[in-house]
Amino acid sequence: MEMKKRISLELRNRNPAETALCVYATRWQQVAELVVDNCRSSDGEVEGLTDDYTGLEILSMVNVGLSSLSKLPSLPKLRKLEVSDNTISGGLDALAEKCPSLTYLNLSGNKIKDLSTIEPLQNLKNLKSLDLYSCEVSALDDYREGVFELLPQLTYLDGFDEEDNEVPDSEAENDEDDEAGPPGDDDDEDDDEDEEGSEGDEVGLSYLMKEGIQDEEDDGDYVEEDEEDEEEEEDGDEDGAAVQGEKRKRDADDEGEDDDDE
């Protein structure tokens, strides 16, 4: 697939409902990451990218047939550029002018043969990490010493610093976080979940308190019912005693009548 078509598809897939020109311009400005690996450049130049991509921070064009970066548009916020496995042999002077914020550059697997080819990278004052492995220049004697001397702003070359210490995992994780999405998205989701959980706790607490109040009221009803039962039992006992006394009185009267008859 041609690079221009691939970029168009990448953009369309992010927001397929928008078609107006002004909306496209806004959408370009909001694109922070663009990956067009393994597509094809028809003439060895960057295609489909324009100066409208002012918000682009990460750009990956791995194995797309690039031989030059001269047509790379102005990308003032670009921090990470992946152009490995192409046939770039020079023309790196355009990067300092068009990508002044660049901190990471991967040129591995290109046609870079000597240190003079990367000399223009001296003007990339923010450049911290450079990859040149699988380039012919990496086979030169004192290759690492020469690169660090030529580019004193560098911290890492081919994944290792000047003391042969590997890039810390924390920095690699930061790169992955940048690629995953804008900072703060996950935090917002966590905050939403926490708020939902808090609301659930409050509802549960109020529900339990309500249940407790209801239980107390029910207990009061039981107490009242018990007292009523006791009163009924006492009334029943008194009524029974009165009936029993009345019966004894009648029996005594009957006996007296019998004596009179005799």
- CATH number of domain containing 19: 3.80.10.10
Q: For residue 128, what pLDDT is reported?
A: 98
User: What are the tens digits of pLDDT across the range 62-108?
Assistant: 999 999 999 999 999 999 999 999 999 999 999 999 999 999 999 99
Expressed as residue numbers, the domain containing 144 is 3-183
In a domain, 77, yes or no: yes
State the chain's mean pLDDT as an integer: 75
**Structural domain includes residue 24:** yes
Please report whether residue 201 resides in a domain.
Answer: no
Task: Assess contact for 82 and 60: CB atoms under 8 A.
Answer: yes
Q: Quote the pLDDT of residue 195.
A: 53
179 within domain boundaries: yes
**Does residue 25 lie within any of the structural domains?**
yes
pLDDT category of residue 118 using cuts at 50, 70 and 90: very high
Residue 198, in any domain of the structure: no
Q: What is the mean pLDDT of residues 123-127?
A: 98
Q: Name the pTM for this structure.
A: 0.62
Indicate whether 109 pLDDT > 80.
yes
- Establish if 252 belongs to a structural domain: no
Domain count, the chain: 1
